[in-house]
Structure 1
């Protein structure tokens, strides 16, 4: 089966763009495919196609991953190297804690137990986007 029918996309970029992408991947410890998929998935936020997508030099040159939240101009900086965007599939609320399950990619889910208060403050509901922030052996939930 040809690559095009399998979902492959091939395109050319300049040497400068390639270096930016490779440096970003190295700093965030993520693959080019992961970065490009996240950018493409983010396009559905726009009612029309944006005229340009830019990556700030601060994000590219900084060793700390950044999550940019719609409610603030400043990106949230986290020391964790693994930040995975997903869709909340289940929220199971207990007396003290809440179990949050994120689907990162089709049929790949991560579950984290956080406090009930944190889940309420972050307004975590099934069907909304959130991030799994993985530090050492813990998974922390973040939201735009």
Structure 2
């Protein structure tokens, strides 16, 4: 099967652009694929009915980027998948809370955490957060034919 039909994107970058990307990847300890995926997800997707997307951009300013890099350095997170999103819903059920995050236009991620964590981190609808995904396997299920 050709790579293009599998979702591969290939492009040519100048030496300077490659150095910039390589340097950023080293500073953030993230792969080129992770960086480029986040960039693509951050692109504004205007909707005819609602206008420009309300999705978060990668960084509002240099201070925010430096804060993000400091968090990565301070916590030394081993997970390679760090997804920025905005909390769109919090459903509390006993000791657990189900958080729904908008991570890209039309893409949501749901996480289950404790209510204590919601309170400790002062999480609320509209707050920008990061989902840290660490998984050594992904399983797919389908209804048997």
TM-score, reference length from structure 1:
0.57
Higher share of residues assigned strand: 1
Q: Deviations over 1:27-74 (max 9, x none)?
A: 43415252476599245x45xxx6x9988xxxxxxxxxx9446xx7x6
Task: Give secondary structure in 2 for the equivalent of 1:18.
Answer: helix
**Where does the alignment leave 5 or more consecutive residues of structure 2 unmatched?**
1-12, 44-55, 138-145
Aligned mates of 1:109, 1:53 — CA distance in 2: 23
User: Is the deviation greater in 25-34 or in 100-109?
Assistant: 25-34
Tell me which residue corresponds to 1:118: 117
Aligned mates of 1:37, 1:96 — CA distance in 2: 32
Aligned mates of 1:109, 1:37 — CA distance in 2: 12
The RMSD of aligned alpha carbons is 3.9
Task: Give secondary structure in 2 for the equivalent of 1:34.
Answer: helix
**Where does the alignment leave 5 or more consecutive residues of structure 1 unmatched?**
1-12, 56-65, 139-144
Question: Contact between 2:81 and 2:134, CA under 8 Å: does it hold in 1?
Answer: yes
* Larger-gyration structure (1/2): 2
Where in structure 1 do 4 or more consecutive aligned residues deviate above 6 Å?
Answer: 52-55
Task: Give the 3 Å change call, closer, same or farther, for CA 33–113 of structure 1 in structure 2.
Answer: closer
The count of aligned residue pairs is 109
